[in-house]
A and B are shown apart, each in its own frame.
Chain A
Amino acid sequence: DAGITQSPRHKVTETGTPVTLRCHQTENHRYMYWYRQDPGHGLRLIHYSYGVKDTDKGEVSDGYSVSRSKTEDFLLTLESATSSQTSVYFCAIRDREGTEAFFGQGTRLTVV
């Protein structure tokens, strides 16, 4: 594995509650990404980061926020979880421009 840890690995939460997912890397890679994976949609980019405190939106960013205060940690927050945010969330890291990305093991989030 490429030194990426996602936590928690599984979570069940209620509609309307805040949820934070954590991605931790030990590779000192510059780029970090959050994707969600749903049947029929593949991997869709939520947010990504190109450095500490530098983040940008992906194609499905509504309802999500992120923070990166340290190189090794990239947090994804659902301010008020909805059932449509039930999904598998993957974090990915990338060393520099034009290289491959490595994925964490995923977090299965269920919003009831």
Chain B
Amino acid sequence: EDKVVQSPLSLVVHEGDTVTLNCSYEVTNFRSLLWYKQEKKAPTFLFMLTSSGIEKKSGRLSSILDKKELFSILNITATQTGDSAIYLCAVGNFGNEKLTFGTGTRLTIIP
């Protein structure tokens, strides 16, 4: 069975700090890894990483994929209170197109 593990489960930092969120996975026929941000309602898409795109960056957020070691990290620099959210990692595979999610990391930014 496909498995996605995120760490830490929760994280509290001060505004301006840099944070690193982790996602490890065990998936048959890996196709892609996706990061989502969830505030009060629906998860919103951040990045997708694949064999052909192992690094992504958007503003203060960046992510890398290590296909050999089967993990990804999401970095957020110069954190702001608006970054407070649950960050979800998901993996997709070839064949059945399921998306398997981890339990998420709850990030709290203190002003």
Asked if B103 and A104 make an inter-chain contact with CB atoms under 8 angstroms apart, the answer reads no
| Interface of chain A: mostly helix, strand, loop or mixed | strand
A residues near B103, Cβ cutoff 8 Å: 40-42
Interface residues on A, range: 20 to 34
Asked if B98 and A45 make an inter-chain contact with CB atoms under 8 angstroms apart, the answer reads yes
B residues near A99, Cβ cutoff 8 Å: 48
Asked if B43 and A103 make an inter-chain contact with CB atoms under 8 angstroms apart, the answer reads yes
Interface residues on B, range: 20 to 34
In A21-48, the 8 Å CB interface with B consists of: 31, 33, 35, 40-45, 48
Asked if B100 and A45 make an inter-chain contact with CB atoms under 8 angstroms apart, the answer reads yes
Q: In this complex, what residue of A is CB-closest to B100?
A: A45
A residues near B45, Cβ cutoff 8 Å: 100-102
Given A98-B31, A104-B42, A105-B41: A44 and B101 interface contact (C-beta under 8 Å): yes
Interface residues of chain A, those whose CB is within 8 Å of chain B, are 31, 33, 35, 40-45, 48, 50, 56, 58-59, 90, 92, 94, 97-106
